[in-house]
Amino acid sequence: MARIDYYAIETEIKTILDADSTLTGTLITVEDELLFGAERTPWVGVFLERRDAGDQSLSSGQRTRYNLRFSIWCWEYSLESISKAIQLRDDLLGKVEVALMGNRTLNGKVSTSWLEGGDLPSARVPESNGFVSGGEIILIADVTATTG
């Protein structure tokens, strides 16, 4: 790989999630904003947050290894209660995590990947009688760029 195609990796995450039958009916987007509302949830948004290059081997100058940090947001909406929105969010988070754990190389786009924590905000939607709950999944992907 001469260069890293970051957007291709993001869209591969979406492809993996779209193919998972437990996520049928879930709106999955890449680098898009969510407009809260019942009609837009469940929603999963994939965002590339940063890249880090740690200590490099003597082959530096020929290749650079990066850890890419993706923020994958899972949002649910409920008119019933905040606890219902949280339960829906937890279910959605679990489905997304299982789908990602089942494909650690993201169909060969990265060397490996793993999950790390994330935020879990919940709130009443001010403009409506509804409630939202979100869960962030941090996905770290190991990838190498080479000169040749």
**Cβ–Cβ under 8 Å, residues 51 and 67:** yes
For the stretch 115-143, pLDDT in tens is 999 999 998 887 778 899 999 999 999 99
Instruction: Report the run of H or E that residue 76 belongs to, with start and end.
Output: strand 63-78
Largest Cα span, the chain? 59
Q: Report CA dihedral (136, 139, 47, 95) to the nearest 10 degrees.
A: -60
Question: What's residue 116's pLDDT?
Answer: 95
Q: In angstroms, rounded to a whole number, what is the distance separating the alpha carbons of residues 54 and 120?
A: 28
Per cent of the chain over pLDDT 90 is 72
Q: In terms of pTM, does the model score above 0.85?
A: yes
For the stretch 22-69, pLDDT in tens is 999 999 999 988 666 667 899 999 999 999 987 776 666 777 889 999
